Structure 1
Amino acid sequence: MKNLLIMLKRILYGILIAVFTIGVSTIITLNFKFIYSYSIDKYNLVEVGKISKEMLIKDFNTLINYLQNPFIKKLQFINFPMSLNGEFHFYEVKKIFLYIYAITIIITLFFLTVFLYNKISGKSCTIYKVLNYGANSLICIIVGIVGIISINFSKAFIIFHKIFFNNDYWIFDERTDPIINVLPEDVFKLYALAIITLISLFIIGYKIYFYKKSFKKVKDYNKNLKL
């Protein structure tokens, strides 16, 4: 029974670290505004949108600020009109990002509480092991995501929307929501790749930290045996 509880705790910690890492990577990537600046040049969005790069960036920044700030109640672009359906879709996207922020903060507080409790009660705080559980969970997740995206990103993109949205408002009509012309699927692909890259860097960091701490533990143990 004890071994089962230990295994379940490891699985829980691994999942929580994985969700935390995905959340942090998503939040960081959302603020990588240079990706959109690069996309403007790569996909010739100035010509597509018929406005300057500066104005495209201003409207994109307006969108990013709206998605992250709970105090901004209404989205209004400078250069693009928007339908009620389009506005509602962006509102639903905003809710998803705010949930990501909330979940990330809750998991952070959870681990801080566990860490402080262990510290006060004199229990060992094996953070490196917890991070390793998360790294193992993330490896499984990333392999699956990369496999799906590499096969057919467009299909994965559609499936993602069908999972997270219970309507078809995400299918924009360029006549009523011309913003979609300057937010092509390729832009989202770049952001997805950035998130995957960040998560991969976290995995590497977790693994390096784990093996360094494990090696030190073994080294100290062998040293004590000699004494």
Structure 2
Amino acid sequence: MRRKETSWIWLERLGILCVILTILSLSITLTINFRPLYVWDIKALNILDQVTISQSELLKNFGQLMSYLNNPWNQTLQLSDFPVSASGAFHFYEVKRLFLLCYGVLLVTIIPSSLFIYRLFKVKRLWRLIRPFQWGMIIPVFFGLLMAIGFDQFFVAFHGVFFNNDDWLFDPATDPIINVLPEEFFMHSFILFFILLEVFFLIGIIIGKRELKKI
């Protein structure tokens, strides 16, 4: 009996980890594919002042970039109005690998997570999500504070963690695409990502607490 309980405890912990990975990868997926954010930033950040093309042409190039990053079968980065250097292309290739890794995690975890949540619902143990999700809500707050202190340092540290080279430091002369991908756009993307995390975790906490009241 004790071995069975121990096995269930570990399975439950594994299930919670799976759910958290699903939330993380889903939040990233929604953020990087939320095109309206870039459309809004075009005006908010006066991005068109940096180029001689129209907004529709700029969005066409942005779509080409996102198509390359999202599509595992698209192996060539080609933008209509922006040349790309060898180092720039390699950086986007590394970004593409991170995108595909994120999608892979989402695909692998979303079904087990759904089954696990359904299992918790059936046995009235959704309250088990409360404490892990409360800890999860601290993460965006912590990184949000770091961003508030200095986004430049945060941005550099982020690239230091995920990239082992300096190819992300674009030269506008050889990679003019960087002129239409300002640092502020990435800051807004991080903010959106953190908001999504908070919302998903908060929903889980609310559902768990409501169930706890019924027990």
Give the Cα separation in 2 of the matches to 1:204 and 1:113.
20
Find the partner of 1:31 among 23, 27, 33: 33
TM-score by length of structure 1 reads: 0.83
Find the partner of 1:181 among 157, 179, 182: 179
Q: Give how far 1:142 is off.
A: 1.7
Tell me what 2:200 maps to: 202
Structure 1 pair 189–17 and aligned structure 2 pair: CA distance change class (3 A): same
Find the partner of 1:103 among 92, 97, 105: 105
Tell me what 2:62 maps to: 60
Give the Cα separation in 1 of the matches to 2:19 and 2:30.
16
Give structure 2 stretches of 5+ with no counterpart: none
Structure 1 pair 133–12 and aligned structure 2 pair: CA distance change class (3 A): farther
Tell me what 1:160 maps to: 158
On the 8 A contact 1:86/1:177 being kept in 2, the answer is yes
Q: Give how far 1:114 is off.
A: 5.1
Q: Give how far 1:14 is off.
A: 3.7
The residue type paired with residue 17 of structure 1 is V
* Equivalent runs, 1:1-227 vs 2, <5 Å: 11-112=13-114, 125-126=123-124, 128-216=126-214, 218=215
> What are the Cα deviations for residues 110-165 of structure 1, in whole angstroms up to 9, with x where unaligned?
3356578x69xxx9545623543541231132222112112111111111101101
Identity of aligned residues (%): 31
On the 8 A contact 1:14/1:137 being kept in 2, the answer is no
Q: Give how far 1:62 is off.
A: 1.3
Tell me what 1:222 maps to: none
Report the aligned-residue RMSD.
Answer: 2.5
> What are the Cα deviations for residues 7-49 of structure 1, in whole angstroms up to 9, with x where unaligned?
6655544433222211101111112111111111111111112
Number of paired residues? 213
On the 8 A contact 2:127/2:209 being kept in 1, the answer is no
Give the Cα separation in 1 of the matches to 2:28 and 2:13.
22
Structure 1 pair 16–133 and aligned structure 2 pair: CA distance change class (3 A): farther
Larger Rg: 1
Tell me which moved more, 9-18 or 40-49: 9-18
On the 8 A contact 1:29/1:194 being kept in 2, the answer is yes
* Superposition misfits of 4+ residues, deviation over 6 angstroms: 1-7
SS at match of 1:77: coil
Q: Give how far 1:105 is off.
A: 1.5
Q: Give how far 1:5 is off.
A: 6.7
Q: Give how far 1:97 is off.
A: 0.8
> What are the Cα deviations for residues 190-214 of structure 1, in whole angstroms up to 9, with x where unaligned?
1111111111111221112112222
Give structure 1 stretches of 5+ with no counterpart: 219-227
TM-score by length of structure 2 reads: 0.88
